[in-house]
A and B are shown apart, each in its own frame.
Chain A
């Protein structure tokens, strides 16, 4: 559960940092006026609720994956664990997902400058690259099972299929949103505030999912193990 605790410490740090700015030491029973607290506090327009909502959601998704990864490490200690070879295709998929992130980042830049043509192109590229990533993952599954690495043979296989599946479902959900944003971008002549927001949020989400994928990839490739061994030695 160390991974989970690390993640929670990070979340806790963010919460603590946020709370530090909330005047938690104020004495509300002594102040009877909104003057000081609100006019000063509300000078910047409040962040859109959807944005905060997305960050909170990413916290939930992060908890989900860090718990799965904790389970992965705990299960790994048992004797019946054999690592599985990684299909080369996963490198291609990683590149696809990374370029997906780049495409969406590009979209975010274009929407800020109000260039609709480029924005549409970037969003379509983002959507297609994401879809290709998913197709690639399924192809990787197919290759593995054809090579005889089945779900039930070994816990390493089981975790591989489960974690990639879980990650794939999250990508799928993200693609639905990117798809809707793309449709909206084609319908609009000029970037509305809403479109700008959607494009930005899609970008954040896909960056996050890329980070999750890189961690999972390191895990499957076995690089993470050396790192964890090192941490264990430091701890003990």
Chain B
């Protein structure tokens, strides 16, 4: 079908790609701490993100305890409850998910998967991590500042975010939060330039864009989106800092605080919402697209089958990325917008379901008649598909203005976004860790512990978030510190709240098993070998495991085929690595 001269592959000299100058560390410090090696930076990013994520996990326990047993815990008052909510949301979305997917997986996988020795700007890459760490430290500083962290909700809507009624509004809380975000964005931009330019310029010979694994496509597109979307948050944070510190009125309307007329006037809180959600909606896909990419690779590898509709998958990633920039106002239906705008944004929101559905169908069709190995990465990938479909479907409800308006302030929304951008990407992260841990450390994670972790997490998160849909439909409001005596909330809702809290504690405890597994397997895990999953992509073909500095030994790999040659008819094994040249009979032309 395609006229490629057979056998021409052997004639390609393999060292023709210009080799890059690598920075070689001279001491222990520059090798492991101030390292410019993307693999070390990736581990640093991941460890920091997971550590701060644990803080957010504990915060969610505290919130759930308050909701189930209001008044039992004296140290949780209304103020601290809002602080827990705010910090939980902000940490999970930005400091855990964004940092882990792009900073962690991006750093580790991009150079290895495209066959580069390292990122193109290793120094900026190192700086990116340290700036990220500073952002995290500023954020954590909020807990120790007088007045505590901000309690404005993760959306930080003015004017309440900078007034004295909100915890941290007139203290350090909001200042630290805004500065932390600004620092995070600066650090991310340094890293983001690296990820994009490495994919553009660092690919090895033969690695065309359409031969890249979908993981790289997902991370690449998400990074481009993040680079364009984070400036909106940056502008919003800077302007709010001006309002709070210098007394300008970008967002602050004329307002009376504690009986006192403030000097602000005329500002537009809606303007903030536009800026915030212009970042906030792409952010959902910044988290989702890497997950989409990774899950495609997990499914293909562990079902021993080429991904169904690779081209469609790539196009869908790009189209989702583009569309996600014109749906932001669907977060603002309740802000009193022009119905024509509401109609426009509802339409674009529903249109985005098309490329997303294409992806889901393609995953399912990849599984169809595949040689499915129910390994842990596969289990997590399957769980992701189910959870994502679930959360996505409620998204279709909420995308419609008339349905969203009554549901917007209820637990239904909490259930929706936790399913679709909380649990679903986290399941992928777990799957990805089980999948790539052997490459990072050279050892396998323990299977038995992994199964306990998987089943508790998967079933447990359903037990947590599924009932929340029901609570939402009952009209149980979100963001409430306690329900009190409310006529429309039946007693069963309170029982359900207790159940959800117990499950939240159980699922949280299961994560401790996972952490134990990570540390224990580092020393006692089974030796993995170079390619335990018999995968085709480049990172599994490194001469050493874990890959050494420079990744590829003397010569860069040459790529001869796409990333999904699994179960090719006539091939001696059920996978053909991307580095294997074409020889008669093993390629698809033979059967095309």
Cβ of B31 within 8 Å of any chain A Cβ, yes or no, is: no
The reply to whether A35 and B5 contact each other, CB–CB distance below 8 Å, is yes
From residue 166 to 219 of chain A, which have CB atoms closer than 8 A to chain B?
166
A147 at the interface (CB under 8 A from B): no
Instruction: Flag whether B108 is at the interface (Cβ < 8 A).
Output: no
B235–A68 touching, CB < 8 Å: yes
Q: A32-B588, A71-B235 are in contact. Are A24 and B315 (CB under 8 A)?
A: yes
Contact B120 A31 (CB under 8 A): no
A interface footprint on B130-162 (CB within 8 Å = 1, 0 otherwise) = 000000000000000000000000000000000
**Does any Cβ of B come within 8 Å of A88's Cβ?**
no
Measured between beta carbons, the chain A residues less than 8 angstroms from B558 are 34
Contact with A along B577-592 (1 / 0, CB 8 A): 0000110001111001
- Among B227, B248, B322, which residue has its beta carbon within 8 angstroms of that of A12? B322
Among residues 151 to 173 in chain A, which have CB atoms less than 8 Å away from a CB atom of chain B?
151-152, 155, 158-159, 162, 166
Residues of B within 8 A of A37 (CB): 206, 208, 211
**The stretch of B65-73, B260-268, B418-426, B542-550 that contacts the partner chain:** B260-268
Tell me if A232 counts as interface (CB < 8 A to partner B): no
- Residue B487 CB within 8 A of the other chain: no
Is B246's beta carbon under 8 Å from chain A?
Answer: yes
Stretch at the interface among A74-82, A112-120, A122-130, A137-145: A74-82
Complex-state Cα separation, A233 to B562, whole angstroms? 51
A contact residues around B592 at 8 Å (CB): 30
B266 and A30 contacting across the interface, CB-CB below 8 Å:
no
Residues of B close to A71: CB separation below 8 A: 235, 239, 250, 271, 275
Chain B residues engaging chain A, CB cutoff 8 angstroms:
1-2, 4-6, 8-9, 11-12, 18, 120-121, 189, 192-193, 196-198, 200-202, 205-206, 208-211, 224, 227-228, 231-232, 234-235, 238-239, 242, 246-250, 263, 265-268, 271, 274-275, 278, 306, 310-311, 314-315, 318, 322, 325-326, 558-562, 564-565, 581-582, 586-589, 592
Quote the shortest CB–CB distance from A80 to chain B (angstroms).
3
B74 to nearest A CB, angstroms? 42
17-53 of chain A: CB within 8 A of chain B: 19, 22-39, 41-42, 45-47, 49-50, 52-53
In the complex, what residues of A have CB within 8 A of residue B239's CB?
71, 162
| Known contacts A11-B228, A30-B1, A56-B193; A158/B562 CB under 8 A | no
Known: A30-B2, A34-B558, A155-B266. A74 touches B271 (CB 8 A): yes
**Are A49 and B266 in touch, CB under 8 angstroms?**
no
Residue numbers in A under 8 Å from B193 (CB-CB): 53, 56-57, 60
Q: A15 CA to B560 CA in the complex, in Å? A: 26
Contact of A63 among B205, B227, B268 (CB under 8 A): B227
Interface residue? A64 (CB, 8 A): yes
A34 closest partner in B (C-beta): B206
Q: Hey, which chain B residues are within 8 Å of A50, CB to CB?
A: 121
Interface size class of A (residues with CB under 8 A): 35 or more
| Given A24-B311, A30-B588, A158-B248, A67-B263 contact (CB < 8 Å) | no
Cβ-neighbour of B582 out of A1, A28, A32, A39 (below 8 A): A32
Query: Is the C-beta of A5 less than 8 angstroms from some C-beta in chain B?
Result: yes
A4 within 8 A of B: yes
A155 and B249 in contact (CB under 8 A), knowing A33-B8, A49-B121, A52-B200? yes
A33 lies within 8 A of B208 (CB)? no
User: What are some 23 contacts across the A-B interface (CB < 8 A)?
Assistant: A8-B325, A11-B228, A22-B210, A26-B208, A30-B588, A32-B9, A32-B588, A34-B206, A35-B4, A49-B197, A52-B200, A59-B227, A67-B278, A74-B268, A78-B266, A151-B242, A152-B246, A152-B247, A152-B248, A152-B263, A155-B267, A158-B242, A158-B248
| A46→B590 CA distance, assembly (Å) | 34
Closest chain B CB from A19 CB (angstroms): 7
Measured CB to CB, the closest approach of chain B to A141, in angstroms, equals: 14
Residues of A within 8 A of B (CB): 1, 4-5, 8, 11-12, 15, 19, 22-39, 41-42, 45-47, 49-50, 52-53, 56-57, 59-60, 63-64, 67-68, 70-71, 74-75, 78-81, 151-152, 155, 158-159, 162, 166
Judge whether A60 and B121 touch: CB under 8 Å.
no
When C-beta atoms are compared, the residue in chain A nearest to B7 turns out to be: A33
| In contact, A31 and B250 (Cβ under 8 angstroms) | no
Query: A141 to B328, alpha carbons, bound, how many Å?
Result: 36
Q: Which of B268, B271, B311 contacts A25 (CB 8 A)?
A: B311
Top 10 A-B residue pairs of the complex, sorted by shortest distance between their CB atoms: A34-B206, A80-B266, A28-B562, A32-B582, A32-B587, A64-B231, A158-B248, A49-B120, A35-B8, A63-B231
Chain B: which residue is nearest A74 at the CB level? B271
Which of A12, A19, A26 has the most C-beta atoms of chain B within 10 angstroms of its own C-beta? A26
Alpha-carbon gap, A57 to B121, bound state (A) = 13
Tell me which of A26, A34, A52, A79 contacts B9 (CB under 8 A): A34
B278 & A4 in contact (Cβ 8 Å cutoff):
yes
Chain A nearest CB, measured from B109 CB (Å):
19
Q: Which residue of A lies closest to B590 (CB)?
A: A32
Of the candidates A11, A24, A67, the one whose C-beta lies within 8 Å of that of B235 is A67
- Contact status of A36 and B4, CB under 8 A, knowing A152-B248, A158-B249: yes
Could you tell me if B235 and A64 are in contact, using CB atoms closer than 8 angstroms?
Answer: yes
CA distance A80 to B265 in the complex (A): 8
Instruction: Tell whether, in the assembled complex, residue A56 and residue B274 are in contact, meaning their CB atoms are under 8 Å apart.
Output: no
**Which A residues lie within 8 Å of B201 (CB)?**
46-47, 49, 52
CA distance A59 to B227 in the complex (A): 8
Please give, as numbers and ranges, the residues of chain B lying within 8 Å of A152 by CB-CB distance: 246-249, 263
Which one, B11, B121, B200, B231, contacts A67 given CB within 8 A?
Answer: B231
| Contact of A32 with B4 in the complex, beta carbons under 8 Å | yes
Measured between beta carbons, the chain B residues less than 8 angstroms from A30 are: 1-2, 588-589, 592
By beta carbon, the residue of chain A nearest B329 is: A1
B196: A residues at CB distance < 8 A: 56
